[in-house]
Amino acid sequence: MSPRTTEPEEWVDRSVPPVAGIRVGIGGWTFAPWRNNFYPKGLVQRRELEYASRHLSAIEINGTYYGAQKPATYGKWRDETPPGFVFSAKAPMRIMQSRALEKTGPQIEDFVGGIVELGDRLGPLVWQFDKGQRLERAGFAAFVELLPKTWDGRPLRHVVDVRDPAFVDAWLIGLARQHGIATVFTDSEEHPSFAEVTADFVYARLMRARAATPTGYPQAELAQWAARAHLWASGSEPDDLPKTVAGPAPDAAQRDVFIYFISAAKERNPAAAMALTRML
């Protein structure tokens, strides 16, 4: 039996459902400063996922970018989280950094075949292409063709995070829409920031949390993000975010939305995610 913490554990039986199809979360769950302002005093580290998944509706796994885990590890994470909770996960960087993207099929299948052990906790898979990486259209298009749409009958969702501004253009948007793959909207000055909707879901990473603000983002900005999230979820889109190409998003009655507070003043991100969830 798991040891008890020094705080009451009313949270053990709770969960945070999505609001109108909108999920809000953070990147990872292991970060030392969170033991001062997010996790309760006395909570052992091995129970941090259990706690985080009962206060947020989603978490983006970053560790898989550096190396895939064993299926048993994914199964453990699945079992530590409540029904309805969802993980997004970054694919291993060795796949995206391949010099021959069109030949990465076996590596893609190896990664997907393991992480599907998350079962119904598995959300979008994120394929991140870093700035400075030389991409060419034929190889990238062939790579996208390799991404499986289903696995053992379970639908899969994919996200491409392209961080080379020169590769973000109408061709990329068209390719993503053709395959129903999302592109990342990034609220940051460090990476390309474009808000085209290219799939039946939206994936946003908010990277401007401030250490001096207890909720990371000021209340007025959180209110703006809540309004934008509801527009995305309702099948519409906000008109105050940057775009690469002109024109409206594909028609949709509704969409799922994933919003993650990532990096920046990381110690504030759980508070930001919970504050935005309350606003929603």
E-strand ranges in the chain read 22-27, 58-61, 86-90, 122-129, 150-151, 154-155, 158-162, 182-187, 201-206, 256-261
Q: Which residues in 43-52 are b (16+ Cβ under 10 Å) and which e? A: beeebbbbbb
Tokens found for residue 251: 């028609």
Which residue(s) pair with 23 in the sheet? 258
Residue 138 has pLDDT above 50, yes or no: yes
- What secondary structure letter does DSSP report for 28? -
Helices (H), 169-235: 170-179, 219-233
Tokens found for residue 34: 């969170």
| pTM of the model as a whole | 0.94
Report how many helices (DSSP H) and strands (DSSP E) the chain contains, helices first: 9, 10
Q: Where are the domains of the chain?
A: 10-279
According to the model, what pLDDT value does residue 11 have? 87
Residue 4 has pLDDT above 80, yes or no: no
- Minimum mean pLDDT among 3-7, 68-72, 217-221, 268-272: which range? 3-7
According to the model, what pLDDT value does residue 8 have? 55
**Which secondary structure element, helix H or strand E, spans residue 7, and what is its range?**
none
2 — pLDDT class (breaks 50, 70, 90):
very low
Domain 10-279 classification at class level: alpha beta
Q: Using one digit for the tens of pLDDT, what is the confidence trace for 190-202?
A: 999 999 999 999 9
